[in-house]
Amino acid sequence: MNIELQICGLVMLIIFGVLIERDRKLNVKNRLLFVAAFGVCIVCLIFDIASIVCIHMAVYHGFSPLITRGVCKFYIMLLVTQGYCGFLYACLDIAVQFKNRLIRTLAIFLYAVGELLIVFLPLNYYMDGRIVYSYGPAALCTYALAVFYICATLFLSIRHKRDIPHRRLIALFTWQGLWLIAAIIQFFSKQTLLVGFAAALGMVVLYSQLENPNEHIDRATGLFTQNALSLYLQDRYTYRKSFSFFTARIKYLVPTAGLDIMKNAVNRSARAFLKLGKEPVFRIGDDMFCLVYDSPERAHEKLMDIKAQADGVTDIPVEAKFIYFPDSNMLSGPDEVFSFIHCYEDSADSMLVCNKQLIEKMRNRSEIYNLIENALRDDRVEVYYQPIYNVKEGRFTSAEALVRIKREDGSMVPPGDFIPVAEENGQIIPLGMSVFQKVCELWASGELTGLGIENIEVNISVAQFDHENPAGFIKKHMETYKIDPTRINLEITETADNGLKHLLMHNMEKLINMGVSFSLDDFGTGRSNLDYFVSMPARNIKFDLSFTQGYFTNDRIRHVMNGMVNIIHDMDMKIVSEGVESREQYDAMVSLGIDYIQGYYFSRPIPGPELVSFLKRHMT
């Protein structure tokens, strides 16, 4: 009998079936549809073999023709069912995204009508040696429906290929293509029974490429990965009611922890989470875990359980932080979940409960992030300049370049809204580059020539020294625009750790050797500390606005400033006082011995053309 390929396909599926059953798996709809298609494929192969055996028995041994036709009909009905399951599995993402009820309804209708037609239409069978097949109206109906489902799956996949992950698209094409080619070959070559084996091979391709759960398992702990959590959350948001979940960051505070100690600590946490119950546990970071529950009561109960366990650890110092999400409906989906976690994972609170206020803050940050990205892309980053008055010379000799962002409607975004976000997510680096380039363009235009400006102060973030080569970048732009390096004064605004500080100082020395000067910005706010004050090769020290204003309202700040002025001058450095807003404040800063004055008393930050006009007016 011609059943070798079917038996090979069946054995192959049984082996993979055992693997699938033993695997740890997530109960997501995509997985359930795959398991259904896999099961139908196995049953279909069994009845493929059974139909050939029955035809052989009926032709050569007088077996019941009625039972033989029944088995054959059930087999071809399973073929249609397999095509239908494949269609549902392949088009799951498309159906969800496009809400294409018409296509799904048509598929169900054709499936039901097709199965009924197969039941009532006549079917015959034939066997001669190794040539065996069923034929008749029922068989033709089966071929037509199978080809329809295959072609419909391929058509929808091609039409919506941009919305389907590339790997999934290739796997689906391989699966359906194998089945279609086998069906065509078998239709014209009756003795070549490839359909069952091709279907089995296609299921193996799907399993290895798309449904292999080992890709979603963290090898170190055996827990599910962050990718698995994304898949699981997407499924729950799409198909189920609201749910609750929490993240737990369990950090073992071992100062000299080696790899083995940290591995043991993580596995210790993993075991504790696994003991909480049947729900899947996800490892979404080196020391962060997530658990999802059907009800807020159970989620809160398990959260308090693991918190008590962490608090009870005595042999190793442990820091445990939790983010609790009582209602999944507060967030729109997995993307917002991960955004929320990323936004608040370093919160000082040991227990953070997701609420509307925190979500709104996170969404505003996300909106600002996108606004900055779009502004950088569309060249809507602008530079405003605030003149700096030289007390000794009685004129404006410098200006600070300040970044501004313009919305698409032309309105300006307040710096206080976007600068903190940019500093936290690294966008301050491209913003700083854009500002420096525009400052070079202003110098290169020649508009500042003869107006008394000796240099422009440009803020540069410490983060710049970690991600880019600032010396190389600045040198390149100065050479491109033919800028005298002495025309540039860079303001350092943040403190760095010891490793980055070494890199910072190294780059500063390179730039100073070129002729670039430096200022220590925000002195008095805590962002620029005494260590920087002592060790940084800066030419100027800038008293922050709050420090300057505090001089008039706080006795302690007044005493500090009185003492610091002498110390700074003794170190052969100059002082810039920001935030001077009135004549009274100006006179007080001059009496104190401040070298440069900056603030609204003279001018607000203004665009480049207005700076030129301002300087021209004050030269007369």
Task: Select 382-617's CATH number: 3.50.50.60, 3.40.50.720, 3.20.20.450, 1.10.1740.10.
Answer: 3.20.20.450
Give, for 543, the enclosing helix (H) or strand (E): strand 540-543
pLDDT greater than 60 at residue 497: no
Write down the pLDDT at residue 220: 83
What are 7-12's contacts with CB under 8 Å, separation 24+?
Answer: 7/49, 8/197, 9/45, 9/196, 9/197, 9/199, 9/200, 9/201, 10/42, 10/45, 10/46, 10/49, 10/196, 10/200, 12/200, 12/201, 12/204
Question: Could you count the other beta carbons within 10 Å of the beta carbon of residue 429?
Answer: 20
Give, for 341, the enclosing helix (H) or strand (E): helix 334-344
- What gap in Å lies between CA 19 and CA 102, rounded to an integer? 37
- What gap in Å lies between CA 92 and CA 426, rounded to an integer? 37
Q: Write out pLDDT tens, residues 70-109.
A: 999 999 999 899 888 888 887 776 654 444 566 667 778 8
Write down the pLDDT at residue 28: 81
**Architecture of the domain whose range is 218-354:** 2-Layer Sandwich (3.30)
Percentage of the chain surpassing pLDDT 70?
91
Determine contact, residues 576/361, Cβ cutoff 8 Å.
no
Write down the pLDDT at residue 188: 80
119-123, 417-421, 444-448, range with the lowest pLDDT:
417-421
101-110, 332-341, 399-408, 513-522, range with the lowest pLDDT:
101-110
Determine contact, residues 592/543, Cβ cutoff 8 Å.
no
Write down the pLDDT at residue 503: 78
Please identify which residue in the block is written with the tokens 């491209």.
Answer: 430
Say which residue, 304 or 531, is predicted with more confidence.
304
Burial of 313 (0-12, 13-18, 19+ CB in 10 A): middle
**Residue 340: both structure tokens together:** 């929320």
Write down the pLDDT at residue 189: 80
- Going by pLDDT thresholds of 50, 70 and 90, the confidence category of residue 496 is low
Determine contact, residues 339/362, Cβ cutoff 8 Å.
yes
pLDDT greater than 90 at residue 219: no
pLDDT greater than 80 at residue 401: yes
Write down the pLDDT at residue 256: 53
Say which residue, 482 or 172, is predicted with more confidence.
482
Write down the pLDDT at residue 183: 81
DSSP for 227-282, written as a single string: HHHHHHHHHHHHHS---EEEEEEEEE--TT--HHHHHHHHHHHHHHHHTT-SS-EE
Say which residue, 434 or 90, is predicted with more confidence.
434
- What gap in Å lies between CA 378 and CA 586, rounded to an integer? 40
SS3 380: coil
pLDDT greater than 60 at residue 1: no
Structural domain boundaries in the chain: 4-214, 218-354, 382-617
Please identify which residue in the block is written with the tokens 């966008």.
Answer: 427
Write down the pLDDT at residue 368: 92
**Residue 45: both structure tokens together:** 């192969």
Q: Mean pLDDT over residues 425-438, rounded?
A: 90
Write down the pLDDT at residue 97: 46
Give, for 412, the enclosing helix (H) or strand (E): strand 412-413
- What gap in Å lies between CA 109 and CA 130, rounded to an integer? 37
Write down the pLDDT at residue 264: 78
N residues, the chain: 620
Write down the pLDDT at residue 467: 57
Q: Write out pLDDT tens, residues 157-208.
A: 787 777 777 777 888 888 888 888 888 887 788 777 888 888 888 888 888 7
pLDDT greater than 80 at residue 26: no
Q: From start to end of 87-155, where are the E strands? A: 124-128, 131-135
What are the percentages of helix, strand and coil residues in the chain, rounded to 5? 60, 15, 25
CA end-to-end span of the chain: 108
Q: Write out pLDDT tens, residues 262-283.
A: 677 788 888 999 999 889 999 9
Buried b / exposed e along 339-355 (16+ C-beta atoms within 10 A)? bbbebbeeeeeeebebe
Tell me the torsion sign for CA atoms 232, 235, 238, 244: negative
**For residues 312, 313, 319 and 323, what is the CA-based torsion angle, rounded to 10 degrees?**
-50
pLDDT greater than 50 at residue 68: yes
> What are the helix (H) ranges across 383-458?
415-425, 428-445
pLDDT greater than 90 at residue 218: no
pLDDT greater than 60 at residue 436: yes
Mean pLDDT across the chain: 86
- What gap in Å lies between CA 471 and CA 336, rounded to an integer? 38
DSSP for 479-530, written as a single string: HHTT--GGGEEEEE-S---HHHHHHHHHHHHHHHHHT-EEEEEEETSSSB-H
Task: Read off the amino acid at residue 76.
Answer: I
- What gap in Å lies between CA 544 and CA 413, rounded to an integer? 22
Angle CA(364)–CA(368)–CA(370) in degrees, nearest 5?
115
Record the pTM. Answer: 0.69
Percentage of the chain surpassing pLDDT 90?
46
Pairing, β 574-577 against β 596-598: parallel
Say which residue, 570 or 252, is predicted with more confidence.
570
Number of H helices, E strands in the chain: 23, 17
Report the Cα 300 to chain-centroid distance in Å.
27
**Does 1.20.1070.10 match the CATH number of domain 4-214?**
yes
Q: Write out pLDDT tens, residues 355-383.
A: 999 999 999 988 999 999 999 999 999 99
Question: Could you count the other beta carbons within 10 Å of the beta carbon of residue 285?
Answer: 13
**Residue 132: both structure tokens together:** 């065996």
Strand partners, 577: 543, 597
Write down the pLDDT at residue 261: 65
